[in-house]
A = this chain, B = another copy of it.
Amino acid sequence: MGKEFYRDRLKKPINQEVLNFLSSLEEDLWIAEEDIIGTEVHTIMLYEQEILNKEEIGKILNSLERIKKSLLNHTLKLDYGFEDIHPFIEKCVIDEIGMDIGGKIHTGRSRNDQVSVDLRMKIRSELNILSERLLTFVDVLIKMSEKTSEVYIPLYTHLQRGQLGVFAHYINNYIAQISRSLDRVAQVYQRINKNPLGACAIGGTSINIDRKRTAELLGFDGIVENSIDAISSRDYIYETLMCLSLISIQCSRISEDLLLWSTKEFNFIELDDQYCSVSSVMPQKKNPDTLELVRSKSSKIMGNLFTASLMIKAIPTGYFMDFQELKMLVKNSFDTVFSIIEMLTGIFTTFKINEDKMICAIEESHILALDIAERLVHDYNIPFRVSHQIVASLVRDSQKPEDLFNKKALETLILKHCKTSLKLPDNFTESMKDYKSCLEKRISEGSPSIFEVKNTLISLTRKTANINSLFLKRLENLERNKELREDRIKKLIL
């Protein structure tokens, strides 16, 4: 019996060139373990439903376990005559234990539901790895936030210096974004973790299978009920890729911050040497290549989403070969996002903050302009719009940052704009220059005052701790079902 043991319907074999074009055999290694487990569970269920007898299930499981073992220790030899992993493994079993028994493992299922069950199991475990990596990254950020709540930095809008802030405030912003992404991961997980097995080709089967039982043994929370939906919908892949895209946008924007701050012109941070590259020709260069690649590789993840959009949108309801190309997009996106998060985690663990350069940037600016304008509002009940105009005029006519604190000029402008003569206290402008007390006055919730920065960090820490415990529960569930399954296998195996 040849490799094309599905192909009796056709008169001609596939030619080599076509096989190369169609084949996903090598790519399928990514889901090979899931595929074997899926087959084990499917056949256990067939036994429990009395479609296989005790001897049959014993031999089948024995064979599958052997194949799994050789897969895991990398001794499984692929036969490139097969166009994908599914017939290859079925054929391995048949070769080992004969057609009479091995020929029964595909009873009541199809490659169509099989592919989907494999992918859902794989994505599920990738999403768990993702949660773990993001939580680790968050831990590093939390630690950095704790240490930098009094490290002053300009807050930028339009890349121009806007308001005085602290470094921890930027970090908390990162944590807040990632914590939302962790939420999304959990929600996607919950929708993906459903069992499509038993949908068969597209219209179910007349074999007396038990879909709830395979769901249980595979650790799924229920089944994808409608059989067309189970083999035709790819929203689970699309939403996985969307979720990864959003994370990659966040990581890319974080990298942009660090790239700017690493320029000699900003010079707010210095990357550790081990995260930098050099020039083959310019001896003085120290390049933040890792950050640039985070930015660039995140584009790949986003591009994968677009590619998947094109693929999925093109096709009507049903199963199509087009779907095959989605698998590598998902794998590539996960691999890439893992590496990106790993890099950022390492970079944040090691970079050096140049506090003095930030202070410098603050001092060479009019960054306290709003604080002064609000003081005029607060102390003298000047309408904010007027006070804004007053300080704006002061800035417009200033030669140097120091001019912002020119009490005299301020009084003149107040007179001009408010038609009332006002005498500012001697310490009016002086007091503003103390960054600490200036920030203390920023009493709005979520502001960069030390008090609020710490408060925000507490609430972020609490939120991510909750996410973490839900994540651990997901892991436990999978573990429990795994034990159940392996127990069953141990008892049935010959």
CA distance A312 to B310 in the complex (A): 11
Task: Tell whether A183 pairs with B191 under 8 Å between CB atoms, given A110-B281, A203-B442, A317-B253.
Answer: yes
Residues of B within 8 A of A391 (CB): 283-284
Docked complex: A174-190 residues within 8 A CB-CB of B: 176-177, 180-181, 183-184, 187
Residues of B within 8 A of A297 (CB): 325
CA distance A84 to B365 in the complex (A): 28
A288 nearest CB neighbor, chain B only: B158
Q: Is A280 an interface residue (CB 8 A)?
A: yes
Partner of A99, one of B187, B224, B245, B386: B386
Docked complex: A110-160 residues within 8 A CB-CB of B: 110-112, 155-160
Task: Tell whether A446 pairs with B199 under 8 Å between CB atoms, given A11-B396, A315-B253.
Answer: yes
- Tell me whether A309 and B317 are in contact (CB under 8 A): no
The interface bits of chain A over 213-228 (1 if a CB of B lies within 8 angstroms of the residue's CB, else 0) are 0000000000111111
- Tell me whether B106 and A280 are in contact (CB under 8 A): yes
The 6 tightest CB contacts between A and B, nearest first, are A204-B447, A303-B307, A103-B383, A163-B203, A284-B366, A103-B385
Task: Tell whether A456 pairs with B225 under 8 Å between CB atoms, given A389-B8, A444-B200, A445-B212.
Answer: yes
The interface bits of chain A over 87-108 (1 if a CB of B lies within 8 angstroms of the residue's CB, else 0) are 1001000100001111110111
Residues of B within 8 A of A277 (CB): 14, 22, 83, 321
- Tell me whether A112 and B316 are in contact (CB under 8 A): no
Residues of B within 8 A of A103 (CB): 383-386
A241 nearest CB neighbor, chain B only: B242
Task: Tell whether A393 pairs with B8 under 8 Å between CB atoms, given A206-B374, A283-B369, A444-B211.
Answer: yes
Partner of A321, one of B8, B296, B310, B441: B296
Beyond A206-B374, A292-B321, A306-B306, 4 additional contacts (C-beta under 8 Å) are A162-B279, A162-B285, A173-B317, A208-B443
- Tell me whether A445 and B283 are in contact (CB under 8 A): no
- Tell me whether A249 and B238 are in contact (CB under 8 A): yes
The interface bits of chain A over 331-346 (1 if a CB of B lies within 8 angstroms of the residue's CB, else 0) are 0000000010011001
Residues of B within 8 A of A295 (CB): 314-315, 322
A22 nearest CB neighbor, chain B only: B289
- Tell me whether B314 and A313 are in contact (CB under 8 A): yes
Q: Is A487 an interface residue (CB 8 A)?
A: no
| 18 sampled A-B residue pairs with Cβ under 8 A | A7-B278, A9-B284, A107-B384, A108-B384, A157-B279, A158-B288, A176-B233, A177-B235, A181-B235, A200-B281, A206-B378, A207-B444, A224-B446, A238-B249, A249-B309, A249-B312, A249-B313, A296-B324
Residues of B within 8 A of A183 (CB): 191
Partner of A239, one of B223, B246, B385: B246
CB distance from A11 to the nearest CB of B (A): 5
Binds B, one of A64-72, A73-81, A261-269: A261-269
- Tell me whether B201 and A108 are in contact (CB under 8 A): no
Residues of B within 8 A of A321 (CB): 158, 277, 287, 289, 292-293, 296
Binds B, one of A32-40, A164-172, A421-429, A467-475: A164-172
Partner of A109, one of B5, B14, B281: B281
- Tell me whether A5 and B385 are in contact (CB under 8 A): yes
- Tell me whether B260 and A206 are in contact (CB under 8 A): no
CA distance A316 to B266 in the complex (A): 14
- Tell me whether A298 and B313 are in contact (CB under 8 A): yes
The interface bits of chain A over 372-413 (1 if a CB of B lies within 8 angstroms of the residue's CB, else 0) are 011101100001111011111111100000001000000000
Task: Tell whether A282 pairs with B163 under 8 Å between CB atoms, given A158-B319, A235-B180.
Answer: yes
- Tell me whether B203 and A162 are in contact (CB under 8 A): yes
- Tell me whether A316 and B441 are in contact (CB under 8 A): no
A20 nearest CB neighbor, chain B only: B339
CB distance from A339 to the nearest CB of B (A): 5
A401 nearest CB neighbor, chain B only: B284
Docked complex: A415-472 residues within 8 A CB-CB of B: 441-449, 452, 456, 459-460
- Tell me whether A278 and B6 are in contact (CB under 8 A): yes
Residues of B within 8 A of A226 (CB): 169, 172-173, 176, 446, 456, 460
CA distance A177 to B104 in the complex (A): 33
- Tell me whether B155 and A110 are in contact (CB under 8 A): no
Task: Tell whether A385 pairs with B90 under 8 Å between CB atoms, given A8-B283, A173-B317.
Answer: yes
Residues of B within 8 A of A90 (CB): 280, 385
- Tell me whether B228 and A159 are in contact (CB under 8 A): no
CB distance from A470 to the nearest CB of B (A): 14
